[in-house]
A and B are shown apart, each in its own frame.
Chain A
């Protein structure tokens, strides 16, 4: 008996062309995480409207959006970064540093355009610093950005001590306090525009495809001719830039800069991304998911606020929500595996 005889009986298969897809794209979407999340969002919305008579009011709802718009701006870039298998925990500290830099420029007598440009450039520089450490020196991003988290905010504390920058020009208030029309705030418009841009970039471009490829298998992506380091560098730059945008909005909304600005926001951003269905280990996730997650978190925070639930309980609730949504798919898979 030769090896060929014992093994050369490949199963007879029906021949024919291999179809492109078995399921239509809409069918896949219907059964997705995003759909489930949307149901949760609607449920919370309904619960809120029953729980408080003040909830279904256009201005109150508009106020509610400020709970997530700034975080969500960063979350879009963070989603791409996490899908690519990296993370940036320094985003809240970038806000602090950018806001401090903006304050210094304001104190020096410059106007709103210079202040905004300073915020954005500071964000970009911070992103570049993280990116170089990760892509050139090959350091793990979680360690690098925990380091820069302390570093960036530390600089802010050195500059400000326990003081604050106040007295931003009145036209600077446009970004965080202005309204585009009726109850639609400028921040909400920025959020919507960024959502569309990031959605298109991630889901409709070569760059987005490269992000998924890198997150699933960086070695395979490299062997396939993807410029892995360059893509990661761009993602760190984007995350830095978005932190700069958020710094402009938040500083404008608060009208002042303290070194403690946005403290703890990095965890809320990561929570939003993960709640949106992005795999914390990289490789999968979507922008629509992050958008819905932003609304869910905004609604929960606002609803609990209307019910006079103290902030600490809110953070407990958000924590439970996060663990819940991460555990749910695993439990579901286990349950299905047994059935």
Chain B
């Protein structure tokens, strides 16, 4: 990395990233990205899920170390080897999920790790409470620093998290999706807080999926796509449409093996599915041989809905019809019996049993088939496992090795094989290619098309636009627990997906 050309950072940038590279095994998370944060200004970092936003946050806060490029503080190269180094340099972050402690008081939460001390080295509770009170007052929060955190509501907890971020002498404040859990009134209060911080001369990095917020409070924007810097500038100079194009306007660099769909009869019909907190009034149908995409932002309620469909949680109302018969599914065991299976997003916890061998994982839901009167038949188990793992091109030392020893891609193949071995009618794949290498991704996509061609109905939950566009016959977009749109054919474009998912009105055309 040549540094002789002088800093890329423009005049006045408090903190800048210069050609930062970060790689993980099999993935380049950040490829020479740039970012500038200016005093008294809000810069919005915009990008799809997986664009590299959270990696940037982790590099700025000392959790990850960049593999190339440099971090410039006031134009001087610095490094943040630890989280303490970053906060010592005045960089603080308000995370999506700041870890707070239920049993501690508000003041203790705010000052945990750097509480003021008395001259005997004990925690100076009185001073800590006073200063916590000052910090909370400075952000307009009326919270008693002496109460325990568990007695506060979500919104107040959020303010405590913000207070904690501001309890160090901060010059740079990173706000990572700060409004995700807030009501409209609380969001307004947050905007006021951002104005206060701006007036204090702090440089703010704002990360949000919501365009109205971005335009409301930002001064500048920077767009990432697939770990690369796409563009930056003043927010006043761009339109929503420009930003959406920058986010998604990629050359399609993956070839999706989607075959012409032979879509048949209706297999699954979901009517009025609702849950008290997670989703509301979900209606759709699924046909034989169809791949139905479910797109939405993280937290749109897609996984929660799917898990309810297979009986992990109970819906408050709604009905499921499978091949014209009403089915009541109260447990995954009943879902398997009915022919609906779910490949979860969280492979390690929900999808696989990592410490058990491959063949035991694959046959777990099919034991009734491979066994005889309740007694195991290992030869049958190996045969079944072989049949499905070979189709998926599983790479493993043997079928007796533990699933945990495989790469992410091969683990996913085991999980998919396990569900196909039950010969389902409907397979739900939740982020089927998340965190797996390109080679395995292609194998999973190829296989998905084959299955659909064979007459299986597939529901694919994905946050990756190319995957959704490349694989789906039809797409349902969810937003905040509801179906925001159902798209197919010409209406299915990156722009329409992002607009519906983020809740921006679709101009001109009716979707």
Contact = CB atoms under 8 A, between A and B. Distances in A.
A337 interface: no
B28 A3 contact: yes
A219 B350 contact: yes
Interface string A213-247: 10011011111111100000000000000000000
A223 B335 CA distance: 10
Interface in A22-41: 22-23
A18 B389 contact: yes
A206 B376 contact: yes
Q: Which of B336, B386, B400 has the most CB of A within 10 A?
A: B400
Interface stretch (B131-139, B142-150, B201-209, B367-375): B367-375
B396 interface: yes
A336 interface: no
A34 to B, nearest CB: 18
B226 interface: yes
B265 to A, nearest CB: 26
Nearest to B368: A206
A224 B365 contact: yes
B238 interface: no
Contact of A8 (B368, B396, B439): B439
A216 B439 contact: no
A112 B55 CA distance: 73
B490 to A, nearest CB: 26
A204 B398 CA distance: 21
Interface string B312-350: 100000000000000000011101100000101000011
B495 interface: no
A136 interface: no
A220 B353 contact: yes
A330 interface: no
Contact of A283 (B26, B312, B355, B398): B355
Q: Which of B251, B254, B355, B397 has the most CB of A within 10 A?
A: B355
B359 interface: yes
A224 B365 CA distance: 5
Contact of B437 (A7, A23, A208): A7
B353 A18 contact: no
Interface in B283-311: none
A205 to B, nearest CB: 5
B456 interface: no
Contacts of A327: none
Contacts of A19: 397-399
B160 to A, nearest CB: 29
B374 A6 contact: no
Interface in A125-164: none
A169 B116 CA distance: 76
A7 B28 contact: yes
Contacts of B69: none
Interface residues of A, number: 38
Q: Which of A6, A17, A23, A206 has the most CB of B within 10 A?
A: A206
A317 interface: no
Contacts of A2: 226, 251, 253
Contact of A224 (B332, B355, B376): B332
A3 B253 contact: yes
A220 B360 contact: no
A10 interface: yes
A266 B414 CA distance: 40
A10 B409 CA distance: 11
A225 B310 CA distance: 10
A14 to B, nearest CB: 10
Given A205-B374, A206-B367, A3 B356 contact: no
Contacts of A313: none
Given A10-B437, A212-B356, A219-B350, A204 B376 contact: yes
Given A209-B364, A221-B353, A204 B375 contact: yes
Contacts of A334: none
B31 interface: yes
A85 to B, nearest CB: 12
A212 B397 CA distance: 23
B352 interface: yes
Contact of A226 (B364, B375, B438): B364
Contacts of A206: 367-368, 371, 374-376
- Chain B, interface residues (CB within 8 Å), range: 35 or more
Nearest to B331: A227
Contact of A6 (B28, B352, B386): B28
Interface string B222-244: 00001110000000000000000
Contacts of A333: none
A210 B336 CA distance: 16
Nearest to A28: B400
B124 interface: no
B431 to A, nearest CB: 15
A294 to B, nearest CB: 25
A7 B312 CA distance: 36
Contacts of A208: 376
Given A13-B395, A220-B349, A226-B333, A213 B27 contact: no
A316 to B, nearest CB: 34
B394 interface: yes
Contact of A225 (B333, B350, B396, B401): B333
Contacts of A6: 28, 31
Contacts of B331: 222, 225, 227
A21 interface: yes
A227 B311 CA distance: 12
A212 B355 CA distance: 10
B499 interface: no
B354 interface: yes
A18 B439 contact: no
A334 B342 CA distance: 39
B344 A18 contact: no
Contacts of B350: 219-220, 223
Nearest to A221: B353
Nearest to A206: B367
Given A4-B438, A209-B376, A226-B364, A217 B254 contact: no
17 contacts: A2-B226, A3-B253, A7-B27, A10-B438, A13-B395, A22-B397, A206-B367, A206-B368, A216-B354, A216-B355, A216-B356, A217-B352, A219-B349, A222-B331, A224-B365, A225-B331, A226-B364
Complex A-B, nearest 3 residue pairs according to Cβ-Cβ distance, in ascending order: A10-B439, A21-B400, A225-B333
Interface of B: 26-28, 31, 226-228, 251, 253-254, 312, 331-333, 335-336, 342, 344, 349-356, 359-360, 364-365, 367-368, 371, 374-376, 382, 386, 389-390, 394-401, 418, 437-439
Interface of A: 1-4, 6-8, 10, 13, 17-23, 204-210, 212-213, 216-217, 219-227, 283-284
Given A3-B226, A206-B367, A227-B331, 13 more contacts: A3-B27, A4-B253, A7-B437, A10-B439, A13-B395, A17-B390, A19-B398, A20-B359, A20-B399, A210-B367, A213-B356, A213-B360, A213-B364
